Chain A
Amino acid sequence: MGNRLPPQPGEWIARDAPLHFTFEGLACQGFAGDTVSSALLANGVRVLGRSFKYHRPRGVLSAANHDANVLLQTASDLNIRGDVSPVMAGESYRAVNTLGGVKHDKARVIEALSALLPVGFYYKAFHKPRRMFPMWERVIRKLSGLGRIAPGFPETRSPWRRLHCDCLVIGAGPSGLAASLRLSAAGVQVVLADENAGVGGSAAWTDGASAWLAAAQATAHNSPKMTVLTGTFAAGLYSDLEVPLVSREGLTIVTPRRLLVTTGVIEQPAVFRNNDVPGVMLASAAQRLVARYGVAPFTRGVMLAGNPEACEASAWLLERGLALDALLVLPGFKPTPEILAKLEARDVRIVRDVTALEALSQNGVLTGVRCEAGGCELRFACDGLLMSAGWAPATQLLHQGGARFAHEAVIDQRIPTELPVGLYAAGRVNGVYTLEARRQDGEAAADEILASLGYSSARTPRPPRAGEAHSHPRPFFAHPRGRNFVDFDEDIQLHDLEVACREGFDNIELLKRFTTNGMGPSQGKHSNLNAARWLADYHGVGMDAVGSTTARPFYHPVPMGVLAGRRIRPQAHGALEPQHRAAGAVWMEAGAWLRPRRYADSGPTGLAEYRAVREGVGVIDVSTLGKLEIFGRDAVRLLELAFTGRFASLKAGRSRYVLLCDHRGTVVDDGLAACLGEHHFYLTAGSGHVTATCRQLTQIAALYGLQVEVVDRTRQMTAINVAGPRARMLLQPHTPQGIDDAAFPFTQVRDTTLFGLPARMMRVGFVGETGFEVHVRYTDGPHLWQALLEAGAPLGLRPFGVETQRLLRLEKAHLIVGHDTDGVMHPFETPLAGLVALDKPQFLGKAALDLLQHQVNRRLVGFETSEAGSEALEECHLIIREGEICGRITSVARSPVLGKTIGLAVLECVADQPLPEAIELRNGRGQLVRANLREGAFYDPANSRQQEGTA
């Protein structure tokens, strides 16, 4: 623990709570409150990771959630950010993206080959010869990517929360704190979010002596109108100020009435040879390590100075007892004589107008720095080289909100010039730098927000923006041997930017995509500004002319589990679910419902169920059918406007098959409409489509101002279909009225009682036998089911599942909408063409159908075959004609009663040309199977079994 400093004021570690962990097998000790990176530095470990492309050793760069090269893996998680993730007692960490560990990464050989891998090489290489591509693909896949997912990772799911407030403030630095306190004091509900574990931001150490700041930090947590969310970052900004906040607890989606962005600035590296060697870090990173974790980032340091903060940070580090040997001043930056005198008094050597800068390393870590100044070469031995060259404003959220910016030459920073309604900015992101000015800026922004919310009309003026540059305009040092990195995530060097521009990718967006600069895990937070500055120099234009890329939400990586949330999938429970379960149902999902596919005791193909329906009697739970009740003076008009058929002639007590198309003429639903009285209809619709059908009906009612009510009763009713030659025998003794063909013919409907339960009975024929659909109240469902099973037992009754029902209906060649039809199939392509009454003046889809009746380029046809290979035919197998695809199977099954394979298929055809007699189907083994086309039902084509006695 040789690198720990004495206790620091306000440090985050608990020195009385030591903990132990390992890093690639090395036993280490840290304290509660340490991050993995800070604890490793305290143990003298400097190489914390390897870079993505060249596998160069990397260490701490920012210590501020931007160290994309320090990603760790444990047994239960991956891509853990070492610079911000708390170190866990007993955990074993290792670096991602190495072959054999961070110390002796075998993949470092790639760097030796780097001359063969110029920027953009993957756009040009690997394409030829084509047969080599699979080999390259394997190599690339092995080398690319970072952590490794283990299937055994524990599943972590977190909820999504929603939060509403008057004002959300992002960033708890001085301006954010000042604004939040003023807002909450005025009675406004404020949420203050910050990614750090505490409030105050970097001012907590740079301005630690400020009494105002200390008081503000303390008050923030005791303000009743204010919620402080620490350890929480804002990941994006969506319409109407919606902000997803991400924390360890998961995602919180905040919809504030006003949004104040006080996100501050992100320190930027200088670009010089070996600027990535462990030991080279941002000056703010060194301060962070000292102030928060009491870790000495170096024993002998050198400061690279491009802005006033360099001098302040130097003085600050000296005060904390760290040794700084030199201040290397970048050309063009003029520190004040006072601060220089102060530093010189502490034996810091000042070197002005530094050129030809490069870092020196041995065994992968920093050993010194070399530069030239005034014509002399200078060398300093050091293990810490601190970069203080400039800041990029954290404008990502403002950009996403639609703010406009302009480059302010005095500060050398992009400043928001125009903000959309409800969006505010303050603090350093707004170009305001001193502590007092940031406080004023925050309070002035708060006053603007209060005025806009109608709380007060007081207006405080915004303080003037900074009067000097806080960033160096060109912190670049070319070097013939390169390794001067612009982007640390992707190992992009200065030379790569030149190559891209020479190849014509000299626009900021093209440059980004060709080089991948800014496309790594830190999303350009350290590289976009330098790339833009370099490009401005290259073209000799200003920063505004170069522009900038927009970081899209989420602009910081978010774990997939957080995005997935808890994955709420509601499940609908039919009334008969316990009965089906007891009967050994094999389930299938049908929308939100579970339906019995078949029952276990009916054999693997459900043949016993099939036989029961064809020879005796069967019952199936059809409660998932959509069930709509329609009341009102205009009920008939509504049906006429919605469906393709006619309803004016439908008498009370009769039902009619209905077809629904959308306005493009596509078949979207079918069902039965039963007339129960002049102004009263009962409508059944497809299981999956009823919500949409109901919505469609109410829309038409609203459009035409109809006097009609549509009630969706799908989940209020249980429906059971009783079908088979003995169905009547089963039911007749238990219902008061006659149900023979004369009294209750096919398509008849009647409200009556069955087994003493109020029931609506309909004569139907979907499965091709005498059939009764019985609708009862949800709660009566189990009683009816039980009564049917008991009364039917002597008749050989069996419950049957969806699979058997599908086979039975296929034998009747009844299509299922959405299964045999697709998203653009219109009625004239199906056998349902006769249901379209085009002579009606108006109905949904009529305009389209008027045209479509002449555009029949394919047809839904029935086919039958018993040729070899027919047993292997499945849905979606293709129809082949002269070697070309000309259709596909939509339904296929082996018919037990006919002893052959039957099915429905969509077949391409030429309008008005007769269909061929036979087609060829290609099964899964590649065999061509000849099948005859057939019109009408395969089984009982005269329909004598289901509707004997049709009136």
Chain B
Amino acid sequence: MKIFNCPILGPRPASEFLCAGSALAGMQNDDLHDARHGVYFGDATAKVKREWWFHRASQLWFLISRDTATDSVLEIALASMSGAQHGK
């Protein structure tokens, strides 16, 4: 299993976290030409992704950058401290 070397929690197995989707779109989804599109045609391209991840035991939100081509985690940051605000 993947181990996330978290700056706050230390090394934790990925199973303790939940992925909550892309962090780039925020709450909007610009690509909603068909609202159901995302259900069946999610972006599965291998590339660097920035995503929301939730740690269940600590109830903390993280923004994680990972490269799905190499299966490596590039950056883990606590969401509330990392300028996550999209408040437009």
Contacts and interface: CB of A to CB of B under 8 A. Distances in A.
A848 interface: yes
Contacts of B30: 847
A742 interface: no
Interface in B16-38: 18, 20-21, 25-30, 32, 34-36, 38
A701 B20 CA distance: 14
A699 B88 CA distance: 16
A703 B79 CA distance: 7
Interface in B57-88: 59, 61, 71, 79-80, 84-88
A700 to B, nearest CB: 7
Interface in A823-861: 823-824, 826, 842-844, 846-849, 851-852, 855
A852 B54 contact: no
B35 A242 contact: no
Interface string A666-707: 000000000000000000000000000001001111111100
A702 B1 contact: no
A294 interface: no
Interface residues of B, number: 31
A855 B36 CA distance: 11
A240 B72 CA distance: 9
Contacts of B1: 238-240, 242, 253, 255
Contact of A848 (B2, B29, B54, B84): B29
A910 to B, nearest CB: 18
Given A665-B35, A702-B61, A844 B3 contact: no
A705 B87 contact: yes
B38 A664 contact: yes
A663 interface: yes
A906 interface: no
B41 to A, nearest CB: 12
B23 to A, nearest CB: 9
Contact of B26 (A242, A253, A703, A843): A703
Contacts of A343: none
B78 to A, nearest CB: 9
B39 interface: yes
A851 B59 contact: no
Contacts of A658: none
A663 B27 contact: yes
A311 interface: no
Given A663-B25, A848-B32, 7 more contacts: A239-B71, A695-B54, A699-B54, A699-B79, A705-B84, A705-B87, A849-B35
Interface of A: 238-240, 242, 253, 255, 641, 663-665, 695, 698-705, 823-824, 826, 842-844, 846-849, 851-852, 855
Interface of B: 1-3, 13, 18, 20-21, 25-30, 32, 34-36, 38-39, 52, 54, 59, 61, 71, 79-80, 84-88
26 contacts: A238-B1, A239-B1, A239-B71, A240-B1, A240-B3, A641-B27, A663-B25, A664-B35, A665-B35, A695-B18, A695-B20, A699-B52, A699-B61, A700-B27, A702-B80, A703-B84, A703-B86, A705-B80, A705-B84, A705-B87, A824-B36, A842-B27, A842-B88, A848-B35, A851-B35, A852-B35
* 9 A-B pairs with the lowest CB-CB distances in the bound complex, closest first: A702-B79, A848-B35, A705-B85, A702-B61, A704-B87, A240-B3, A702-B80, A239-B2, A242-B1
